[in-house]
Amino acid sequence: MGGAITDVAGVKVGHFTETRRPTGCTVILTEEGAVAGVDVRGAAPGTRETELLDPSNLVEQVHAVLLSGGSVFGLEAATGVVRWLEEKGIGFPAGPATVPIVPAAILFDLDHGDHHIRPDAAAGHAACAAATSLPPAEGSVGAGTGATVGKLFGAARAMKGGIGTASVKLGQITVGAIVAVNAVGDVVDPASGRVLAGARDTAEGRERIGTVDSILRGDLPAILQAGMATTIGVVATDATLTKAQARRLAQVAHDGLARTINPVHTMWDGDTIFALATGKSGQAGNMTVLSVMAAEAMAAAVLRAVLHAQAIAGPGVPQLPTASDFD
């Protein structure tokens, strides 16, 4: 499956990729506003403004969503997104001010290089300045720069993750997804059951051992530090949705993660999916159909994230293989 989340009218994407160590951030801009929802399934999340998206709360639309590396420190990049939107006069009218609404989520990539280097407000601002409606770059860019997968047995036996995007169009309605894949689990092709990227037998090994098979054999690591992973993403549509429907779309988009990441939603992942509805098609859509489209687009985006991943070099950066190195 091809396409990109930018196939959805009203959506732009911009990356900032840090050159000093593998990290970065990605902004999904909806400058004219989009109804939004969110669903957090992982047990170690790092998020911003997610409570605002509850259907019972006031604000109906958001103006951007930020996905960032840098663990909790990376949430600072959202400040730069807010500043960029304010400079454009975009936001929620609040008394004398116009307040941009920018939810965000982060992943953990501090174990590559100097962990004091992480996306900041300048990085978020730069991602906005780079945003376009063209198909975004995939692989080791933006929020996916420092992403890795198959980490149950430690970073040395993992493989490179990344960021991917895909879309599905049916009639007048398009659903797209973008996801930064940084999972404890393996990425598995649901069509064949084959592990594309995941835990390996040794740090130098080329055999992908299958994390779930290892767990079921009782082959477990002595220790795994909590909060060392997380897959974060956005599903977007040009259909017209309510906030409650947007939250539901975010929930079912996790089905795409469950089809392609195994195990998923672990105690060490903070898996978070946002949903955006721009309404640009003028069509309400059918929630069952939209749900199928969202899960399919998200699953395809996960696969593309690892298939487009590139090796990253630098001081203190493990030389992890990519899926393309093996196949």
| Cα–Cα dist 17/140, whole Å | 9
Predicted pLDDT at 226: 62
Other Cβ atoms less than 10 A from the Cβ of 191: the count is 9
Look at the pTM and tell me if it is higher than 0.85.
yes
Place of tokens 């997804």: 177
- No. of helices (H) and no. of strands (E), the chain: 6, 16
| Cα–Cα dist 277/83, whole Å | 23
What angle (nearest 5°) sits at the alpha carbon of residue 265, between those of residues 141 and 72? 55
Predicted pLDDT at 222: 61
- Residue 145 contacts by C-beta under 8 Å, 6 or more apart in sequence? 17, 18, 22, 23, 24, 69, 109, 162, 312
Predicted pLDDT at 263: 95
**Residue 88: Cβ-neighbour burial (10 angstroms; 0-12, 13-18, 19+):** middle
CB 120 within 8 A of CB 126: no
**Which CATH number do you get for residue 190?**
3.60.70.12
Predicted pLDDT at 225: 62
Predicted pLDDT at 326: 81
Domain residue limits at 12: 5-326
Q: Residue 2 in 3-state DSSP?
A: coil
Predicted pLDDT at 228: 82
Predicted pLDDT at 313: 74
**Which stretches does DSSP call E strand in the chain?**
12-17, 24-40, 47-48, 61-68, 92-94, 97-99, 104-106, 148-149, 159-160, 162-170, 173-181, 186-188, 195-197, 232-237, 261-262, 272-277
Token representation of residue 232: 């974060």
| Dihedral angle sign, alpha carbons of residues 241, 242, 243, 245 | negative
pLDDT tens profile 198-242? 999 888 888 899 999 998 998 877 666 666 899 999 999 999 999
| Cα–Cα dist 184/7, whole Å | 30
Q: Domain tally for the chain?
A: 1
Low-confidence ranges of the chain (pLDDT < 70): 222-227, 327
